[in-house]
Chain A
Amino acid sequence: MNMAVQNKIPEIRFENVSKQFGNPDSPLGVFQAVDDLSLDINQGELVALLGKTGCGKSTMFNMIAGLSEPSKGTVVVSGQNPFKNFDWFRGKIAIVFQNDRLLPWRTAVQNVELGLEMLEVPKAERHEASMHWLNKLGLAGHENDYPHALSGGMRQRVSIARAFATNAELLLCDEPFSALDEITAQKLRTEFARLVRENGKTAVFITHSINEAFDIGDRIIVLKRPARIAHDIELSSNMSGDEKEKIRETIKASLSQ
């Protein structure tokens, strides 16, 4: 890690965070999803959180999004507690979920407008912004389609447009392309990474695919169950193919344990 990065104030900080689910008195007991995790993510980074299913990635994601509270430790996002100061993050965090989560009663453009509506953006302005993002993601002509009339890939593109339209500083993505075919996923992945870099966003991208993590991330954090950091790797464009392959093998070995 270089000095420039060390001196930055982290956008996201996990400080000795643990998260347990369940009740010790119940027959099912307690499930430890995250265990004493400490982690900094800096502004402008595109971080891929990589791990096997059930390793606590989504729990971390929910804590960053303010949808869940840590059992121990602190999570700080942009200097605030995302769970306690939930409303403070209005317009500052946008999420792309695993499934598209489009409101079925809204057309594509109305779905994209959703976040802007929460920000009280005037109707004409939010329509224009939404159309801009729909066009950018290749959905021109489909703005008035209801979600049921769109394909899986198109629906996921609408959800990406919905996240970008709010112009939030922080983008959280929870395996957004896992349900798509590989060709569509690859296209959207490239498009997503380009948009994040072009717009100078900080993005946390959850995935269980090593290839996806390499395609997208500037930095790959490999998690082991219960969410502990196994590897924290910064990727640079001048890394040789051999170096990348070596890292890939290390991650593969770590995940297969």
Chain B
Amino acid sequence: MTSATSDNAPVRIPGMASLKNIAMTAAPFAVMALVWQFGSLFFPPYLFPSLVDVFWRCLDILTDWSAFSDVLATAGRILAGLAGAFIIGCLLGFLIVQSKLGDRFLSPVLIFFQGIPALSWVVFAIIWFHGVEFRILFIMVVTTLPAFTFQVVGALRAMPKDLLEMVMSFRPTRLKFFRVMILPAVLPEILTSWKVNLGNASRVVVVAELVGASGGVGYQLLQQQQLFDMAGALAWTLQLVFFVLLFQWVLTLIETFAFRYRAVSERAL
């Protein structure tokens, strides 16, 4: 009986599972590319350019320093904006959690800010400020600040009270309490907030550059629009997507390292 069972058991090929995983991840993109390429056969290149053309345009951007520096400028603006919003968001978050007055005063202001469209901030920034970089930084910070703040507030309020009391019972200094308890407890939410805000920031930065900058992916997209160059527009868009994917991957690596303590259920959701 035993031998019959083992004879009938499926043969496992090493590496098959990971190959299957890669294939499953690539499948939707392959289908999208196929549909696009098929469409390019029936439409003019300024509507649906061939993906081969798009690929060469991508390569041009990556190999030409003056073009690639525009990608780096946009990436730098996204990261600077997110870092600024995160730092201010943390400070405001602590203030809101620590004081009722802070909560009453700041929360409505942040909710009000959340309702202002990114494009309005772009217009305000152009009117208020001279420097291009400062304008973009301002736009990035104000548009991502409310989300960061509320996520920090949520993370701080969700800290387990019993663990807080346990750590407090050892009478830590403020700094030690932050390092030992607060930081590890809020880190999962903080990383999630970075992932969410990264997507938002990459959309906002393009709008900001489109209207108020003389360089960067947004500016280059404006150029492609004026030239009716769809392959170029796609290639520049893909640069931004690649950057977001790269940064998301870095965040996932940090998550994998930082949350190695978590139990993994054999039965996934």
Contacts and interface: CB of A to CB of B under 8 A. Distances in A.
Interface of A: 65, 67, 86-87, 89-91, 93-95, 97, 99, 101, 103-107, 114-115, 117-118, 146-149, 166
A89 B172 CA distance: 11
A65 B169 contact: yes
A114 B170 contact: yes
Interface of B: 162-163, 165-173, 176, 180-181, 184, 259, 261-263
Contact of A118 (B162, B171, B263): B171
Contact of B261 (A87, A91, A148): A148
Quick one: which of A87, A90, A104 has the most chain B CB within 10 A?
A104
A255 to B, nearest CB: 27
A101 B168 contact: no
Contacts of A67: 165, 168-169
Given A101-B162, A114-B180, A148 B170 contact: no
Nearest to B179: A117
A118 B262 contact: no
A146 B165 CA distance: 20
- In the A-B complex, the 4 residue pairs with the closest CB atoms: A148-B263, A90-B171, A101-B166, A118-B170
A31 B180 CA distance: 34
Nearest to B172: A118
B186 to A, nearest CB: 11
B163 A103 contact: yes
Contacts of B170: 90, 114-115, 118, 166
Contact of A149 (B167, B176, B263): B263
A67 B164 CA distance: 11
A90 B170 CA distance: 6
B216 to A, nearest CB: 39
B176 A93 contact: no
Given A67-B168, A103-B180, 15 more contacts: A67-B165, A89-B171, A95-B166, A97-B162, A101-B162, A101-B166, A115-B170, A117-B176, A117-B180, A118-B176, A146-B263, A147-B261, A148-B262, A149-B263, A166-B170
A166 B166 CA distance: 14
Contact of A146 (B166, B173, B184, B261): B261
A19 to B, nearest CB: 17
Contacts of A101: 162-163, 165-166
A97 B171 contact: no
Contacts of B167: 103, 114
Contacts of A99: 162
Contacts of A95: 166, 169
Contacts of B166: 95, 97, 101
Contacts of B180: 103, 114, 117
Contacts of A146: 261, 263
Contact of A105 (B171, B172, B184, B263): B184
A97 B171 CA distance: 16
Quick one: which of B166, B172, B173, B184 has the most chain A CB within 10 A?
B166
Nearest to A168: B170
B256 to A, nearest CB: 14
7 contacts: A65-B169, A67-B165, A90-B171, A93-B169, A118-B176, A146-B261, A166-B170
Nearest to A103: B163
B161 to A, nearest CB: 10
A71 to B, nearest CB: 20
Contacts of A103: 163, 167, 180-181, 184
A113 B147 CA distance: 36
Contacts of B261: 104-107, 146-148
Nearest to A98: B162
A97 B162 CA distance: 9
Nearest to A93: B169
A104 B163 CA distance: 10
A5 B165 CA distance: 33
Contacts of B162: 97, 99, 101
A94 B172 CA distance: 13
B172 to A, nearest CB: 5
Contacts of A91: 171
Contacts of A87: 171
B263 to A, nearest CB: 4
